[in-house]
Amino acid sequence: MKRTPINELLKSTDLGKEINVKGWVRTKRGNKSVAFINLNDGSIIHGIQIVADLTNFDENLMKLITTGSCISVNGTLVQSQGQGQAVEIQATHIEVYGSADAELYPLQKKGHTLEFLREIAHLRPRTNTFGAVLRIRHAMAFAIHKYFNDHGFYYIHTPIITGSDAEGAGAMFRVTTLDPINPPKNDKGEVNYEEDFFGKETNLTVSGQLEGELAALALSKIYTFGPTFRAENSNTARHLAEFWMIEPEVAFNDLVDNMDLAEDFLKYLIQYALEHCNDDLEFLTKMYDNELLSRLRFVVENHFERLTYTEAVEILKTTDHKFEFPVDWGADLQSEHERYLVEKHFKRPVILTHYPKEIKAFYMKQSEDGKTVKAMDVLFPGIGEIIGGSQREEDYEKLHTRILEMGIHEKDLWWYLETRKYGTCPHAGFGLGFERLILFVTGMGNIRDVIPFPRTPKNAEF
């Protein structure tokens, strides 16, 4: 008999129908004559109740059906006699695919701490929490592609191995096939990367933006969505060494267009989650964050506050609120400053623009005032910076001068500069941290709990 997913069975009204269901046992309880098995197959957060009349089942078979075991059940879909569920399965035959030793299986019927579940990341997808997070993660990935496809963007695959470190976005992981014990040396006694696989030093990408710009200056509207690697020794609830990033880049867009895109895009994604992930969001709201659903709705329904860095500094300087770090024009804002603006002052998402050029990347469009660049950071409550982007400097001379000023090796960027030499145009884009989006949408507190197998300093298990 063909398996029916549990999400279909739970909404079925086809009482009396013979069905087959397969999944993993969450709990088993009962007495001498009847057993109740809560079975989950990951198709939905809810399990279906299997009722086994023990006069029909061998005692030894029933002993194998433990928390964590995997079974296949044939039976009849019936109206439930008990409270708590509309329908249940009256079992006629049960096959055990794999038992799970109850003395050893680490997942219990009771709740576990998220820290403990991180240590058993190979089993945590079987929990309600991670099932919900992973289904939402999928829905967001799908919605990202759908949004861009529906808006005329093309998905570009930028390289994961890169030969330049000029992007300046952070420390990089080296990629090499050289012998780590006895690498070939050159005349100066340095490692000779000319003998390495690519004939030069290579690293894992820290951003697909520069290559994304090349594609945007041909296809007009593009986006990337791929893994990104940062070798920073960051130990926080918001950083990973390996994470996924979405980077749209649009020719002919200016900073305002860029902000409009970022706001519309984020609201679309959150709205998509509200419409397609309701069961999972309700579970997370109930178990972890009472205000999750109302916060998501609030973000969708209200405009993002837009102001310049200079205006933000004025607000921070005139408030009575005491900060640990001083606020001064020219210095980057501290986390506490961003949090104050988002969570206390405006109480909504904030887009800050026109930062001092000294604290931003070389490729950002220089403003007419000569002091700021057309950068934008989208700040979210509880997350901080969820998007960072800018209009790009399309003027060859200005860009070239800025590269020299910042001491960047121009020979690594000849190809990037050529786009400004041949048919340059105004363009803008941004980067959205996928896991930070998932943090916000799920209400989880630690970024290690929104990616299946987190990579962080001192941790690459699984």
CA distance 75 to 83: 20
What lies within 8 Å, CB to CB, of 58 at 6+ separation is none
Inter-helix orientation angle 255-276/434-442, to 10°:
50
Residue among 116 and 415 whose Cβ is closer to RNA: 116
Q: How far is the CB of 38 from RNA (least distance, A)?
A: 7
Q: How far is the CB of 196 from RNA (least distance, A)?
A: 26
Q: How far is the CB of 253 from RNA (least distance, A)?
A: 18
- The partner residues of 392 in beta bridges, in order of sequence, read 364
Residue among 194 and 332 whose Cβ is closer to RNA: 332
Residue among 294 and 335 whose Cβ is closer to RNA: 335
Q: How far is the CB of 333 from RNA (least distance, A)?
A: 8
Residue among 264 and 332 whose Cβ is closer to RNA: 332
Residue among 33 and 182 whose Cβ is closer to RNA: 33
Q: How far is the CB of 462 from RNA (least distance, A)?
A: 13
Q: What are phi and psi of 38, to 5 degrees?
A: -95, 115
Q: How far is the CB of 359 from RNA (least distance, A)?
A: 7
Q: How far is the CB of 420 from RNA (least distance, A)?
A: 21
Residue among 78 and 315 whose Cβ is closer to RNA: 78
Q: What are phi and psi of 431, to 5 degrees?
A: -120, 130
Residue among 22 and 118 whose Cβ is closer to RNA: 118
Q: How far is the CB of 309 from RNA (least distance, A)?
A: 14
DSSP string covering 391-440: EB---HHHHHHHHHHTT--GGGGHHHHHHHHSS---EEEEEEEHHHHHHH
DSSP string covering 217-283: HHHSEEEEEEEEE------STT--SEEEEEEEEEET--HHHHHHHHHHHHHHHHHHHHHH-HHHHHH
Element (H, E) at 441: helix 434-442
**For residue 92, which of 59, 36, 53, 64 has the smallest C-alpha distance?**
53
Q: Give me the torsion for CA of 336, 337, 339, 343, rounded to 10°.
A: 130
Residue among 112 and 348 whose Cβ is closer to RNA: 112
